[in-house]
Amino acid sequence: MTDWRAVGVGFVVLLVVGAVGLSVPILGQIGAGLIGGFAAGYLAGGGLGRGAWHGLVAGSISGIALTIFVALLGGLLGFAGGPLGGLVAGGGILVVGAVITLLFAIDSALAGAVGAWVKG
């Protein structure tokens, strides 16, 4: 069963560290995925699989939220080029966002497994 508190904390940590990661290049977005996934896995505990699952869910939700936000923003800005420009801008960002969501999910799942292992 999914511990939504652990997923929520991991999601918030991902967003906060990701926002800080925009101004601190060493930390970056991958660091945000690792730290948020670790937090979700650590709070969930219960073994490697459970930690990986919670890290994966937290990373996926944050990637999806970020993708939707950026795609909507790109679509709105693309309307300067007409309706077709907005569609192309939003659609292109959505495809790139799907790849970013996958990256967030993978590193968050690995870090979640480590977090659950550390909690032991």
Q: Where are the domains of the chain?
A: 4-119
Nearest CA-CA partner of 56 in 18, 112, 96: 112
For the segment 19-47, what is each residue's pLDDT rounded down to a tens digit? 888 787 767 777 888 999 999 999 999 89
**Percent of the chain predicted with pLDDT > 70:** 97
Cβ atoms of 72 and 87 closer than 8 Å: no
Q: Is 70 exposed, middle or buried (0-12, 13-18, 19+ CB in 10 A)?
A: middle
Mean pLDDT value of segment 76-93: 74
Half-sphere exposure of 100 (CA within 13 A, CB side): 20
